[in-house]
Structure formats: structure tokens, C-alpha cells
Amino acid sequence: MSAPRKPVDRGDSERDPDPFLSQLLKTLPDGVFAVDTDCLVTYWNEQMERLTGYSSADAIGRPCSFIKGDACFSKRCDADVHPQCHLFEDGEVHGSRCTIERADGATVAVLKNGRLMRAPDGRLLGGIETVTDITRLVRLEHEVERLRSACTASTARWGLVGRHPAMAMLYDRIETAGRTDVSVLVQGETGTGKELIAAAIHQASARRDGPFVRVSCAALPEGLLESELFGHVRGAFSGATHERIGRFEAANGGTLFLDEIGDISPAVQVKLLRVLQDHVFEKVGSNERVQSNIRVIAATNKDLASLVRTGEFRADLYYRIAVFPLLAPSLRARFEDIPLLAEYLLTRACTLRGAEVPGFSPAAMKRLMAWPWPGNVRELEHAVEYAIAVANGALIEVEHLPFAASPGPSLHAIPSTDSARRASRPSREAIQAALAQAGGHRDVAAAQLGVSRMTLWRWMKSFDPSEP
């Protein structure tokens, strides 16, 4: 039962309002209403009539609580519980979300702003509020969240994100590698997620409950790398004051990930080959043989086959670690995944930081799509983190991106970087590995190599003139 109306002493409001103000209130796209000091409605514009279904005659003289705001200014609007409107407690409120009830019983999501009105002598006259219908915005927010959750669930596997055919092929290859226990070589440019791929293979394998141990082969000089891999005994060298286990021993029963394996010295290559062949190793300074029960996954951003031809990498070691080759596609080869990746990285970074950023503007996303990403996914991740810090809670615009001052190449130039790649044509073995991984599909193999199908065909033709 609605609250009884109280006669309203309108005073000067009985006279015609200022014509300019009257037209302004009619032109505003938002609903506007005013209340007196007893929270009774004294003004109700046409937009409020359309928004609520209540005419001005229905509303004026009634307590403003009759529209049943569920969180009016962040507090329950209930005339029986709070006879004094909370606006009179807070004085001025901005951007308060709530729902109100229309005359037909339907609810409407709205954004309310309000402030008190005072006479020139400071006497309190009442309050005025604007009401914006945000039903469509709320619906879109829910839809975006639903799509974001659906996309993340269907395209993010083992921390790898993408729906491009090259990524679908990579997911299949990871699962296949997980069903075996052979050595895997993951090749790809810097920042393509080679460690994530290695970890995914480990998780997909029977060794998933064992340790996953990573070694960056490029980060340590030869002497330290040997000790890091195999361990050492006390007195093995100056400073070796106690015995230490190496990564091979620490990874026993699990997986050892040798990152940047193309940077190891010839001497370490020999010792590594022996471990892979005989499954035994010796600590530095010891002749005692230690059994090794590990799976090795190696990664590199170099063309190991070319290094084999120049004598910089042992052929027997290459064939031992590359039993199951994998190629990590570059980001420019699957630029269609950039919006999905950017949203995924934004959500993850905001969750970790406790930040709230609504997303990317269309212009910012267009710039992301037009950037060549020489640093691949790692560069995109850093760009997103930078943008979050600079945007400071606002929608990410072009000026918030780290390369905002650079125009970048056109969008149509991104999928093909042939002119840059021709000078660094991969080896025949690398092309064969890409084709094998792609199941013979040249489009997918070309995407993995970061070039067009035509460039891949030219490379194949250069190795074999009879290639159709």
C-alpha cells in the first residue's frame, strides 16, 4: 500500500518556472526530480515519467521512496526505516548505482547523482537528483563478462591463450607429447611462451606429479652451468665448501627444462649428450655415477639445425633432444588472437594487482593489432601492465600504451613479415618440422613460421626445385 500523500506547499514553485530552465530540464536525457525537506517529490521531469511510468501528477507530493530504490546512495531507501533521505545525511553523492521499480513492477538499473539545494541565506530547501538509465550498460557488462569467461575457458589451456589454427595445432601437439616420454625441442622467437609450452607438456604427461625444474643455459658461464646441471662435491673447486645436488638430481622423477640450450658450450654439450644416452651423470669433482630418471625438454630461439651445419652445435646432441620438435608461433603470425590475449592479460594483471580497469578503447585495440610485436606475448604482457599503471583505473586509450608515440605499421602489414624474414630463411629441417607439426597443412606451417603461404612455398622451392 503506497504511502499517503502530504499536501505540498510549493510557494514560489506555483508560478511558472524560468522558461530557459524549464526547456533545459525537458531537453536533458536523464530523469530529474526534486524533493523538499520532508523527502516529498516537488518536481518530476518528462524523462522521469518515461523512465518510471509514473506521471508528474502521480509522483508530486509522494515520498521519493515510492520508486523503491534498492541501494539509494549505497543505502536502502525505505521510508518506514529511514524517514530522512540519506541525501540529507551525505549532502552530495555521485555515481551511486541502484535499481528502481517502475509503475508496471519492472525494475530498472539506474545511476543516481544528487545534492542538496539551499536558499541564498543558507536555508535548506530540499534536494535534487538525476537518474540515468543504465540497463543497457549493465546488460552489456554481463555479456562481456560472460563472453570473457567463455573465451577464457575455451581458449586458455595451460596458461596458453589463442584460437588461431596454429594454436589449435600446438594444443594437439602438446597432448601428443604428453603421452610419450621422449625428449622435446621447443623452438620459437623470444617471448612466445616456450617455458609455458614445456610446463604444459609436463602437466600433460605421466610425470605431472614429479618436479618441473628449469635451467636457463644462457644465464650461467660454462663452469657454473656444469655445476648447476650436475652438482658438485665438497672441494671440487675453489669455494665449493659443501656438496650440492644439481638440477638433474633435483628433477629426478620429473621433467628438466633446459631453456636457451643453443647457448651451451661444446664441453657441456658432450656431458649432456652422455646423460641423455646413458641416463647417468657424475657430479663435478666426483667419479661416482648417479642414475638419472628424468625427461628433458629443451627450448631455443636459435635455428639449431643451422648451428649443426656450422659446427657450433653437436649433430648427435641435436638429434637426441629433437626427437619431438615443436614450434611456438610468433604473435604476428596469429595477430587475430591479440584482442583475446590482451583481454586475458588485462584480467589477470588486474586480479593480481587488485586494480579495476574497464578494458581497451577501440582505438587502443586497433593500435595493439597494428604493432609488429617483436617481443611477442611477453612484450604484449608488459604493454598491458604499463597501460594499467598509466590509465589508473580509466579505460585504456592509445596514449596509455608504451608505444603511443609510434604510428606502427598498418594492420594489413602484420600477418606477413616476409621482407624481414627472407634474409633469415630457416633451415630445411626447420621447415620440415613445421610442416610435420602442422600435419602437412602449409597455411598452418606458414603461420607458425611467421610468414605467408607464398613465402613458405618459395623457401621450399629453393631447397627442392621440383616442389609443386
CATH class of 183-325: alpha beta
Residue 464 pLDDT > 80, yes or no?
A: no
Instruction: Evaluate whether 255 touches 198 at the Cβ level (below 8 Å).
Output: yes
Of 187, 191, 216, 268, nearest to 432 by C-alpha is 187
Which is more confident, 22 or 251? Answer: 251
Instruction: Evaluate whether 283 touches 233 at the Cβ level (below 8 Å).
Output: yes
CATH class of 332-413: mainly alpha
Mean pLDDT of 437-453: 69
Mean pLDDT for the chain overall = 81
If you write DSSP's letter for every residue of 62-111 in order, what string do you get?
SBGGGG--TTBTTB---TTT-SS-THHHHSEEEEEEEEEE-TTS-EEEEE
Q: In this prediction, what percent of the chain has a pLDDT beyond 90?
A: 37
Q: Is 230 helix (H, G, I), strand (E, B) or coil?
A: helix
**What single letter denotes the amino acid at residue 269?**
Q
Instruction: Evaluate whether 292 touches 248 at the Cβ level (below 8 Å).
Output: yes
For the segment 322-361, what is each residue's pLDDT rounded down to a tens digit? Answer: 999 999 999 988 988 999 899 889 988 888 888 888 889 9
Residue 424 pLDDT > 60, yes or no?
A: no
What b/e sequence results for 110-147 when a residue is b if at least 16 CB atoms lie within 10 Å of its CB, and e otherwise? Answer: bbbbbebeeeeeeeeebbbbbbbbbeeebeeeeeeeee
Domain 418-463 CATH (choose: 2.60.40, 2.40.160, 1.10.10, 3.30.750)? 1.10.10
Q: What is the pLDDT of residue 293?
A: 92
Give CB contacts under 8 A, 24+ apart, made by 61-67: 61/5, 61/6, 61/7, 61/8, 62/2, 62/3, 62/5, 63/3, 63/38, 63/39, 64/33, 64/35, 64/39, 64/40, 64/129, 65/3, 65/39, 66/2, 66/3, 67/100, 67/101
DSSP state of 254: S
Q: What is the pLDDT of residue 12?
A: 42
Q: What is the pLDDT of residue 260?
A: 93
Mean pLDDT of 121-146: 82
| Superfamily of segment(s) 11-133 | PAS domain (3.30.450.20)
Enter the pTM of the model: 0.59
Q: What is the pLDDT of residue 106?
A: 86
Beta pairing, strands 324-327 & 184-187 = parallel
User: Residue ranges per domain, the chain?
Assistant: 11-133, 183-325, 332-413, 418-463
How many Cα neighbours within 13 Å face the side chain of 44? 21
Contacts of residue 82, Cβ cutoff 8 Å, sequence gap at least 6: 75, 76
Q: Which three cell numbers stand for residue 271?
A: 656431458
- Identify the band that residue 146 occupies on the pLDDT scale cut at 50, 70 and 90: low
For the segment 68-126, what is each residue's pLDDT rounded down to a tens digit? Answer: 887 665 555 554 544 456 677 777 888 888 888 899 988 888 988 888 988 888 888 88
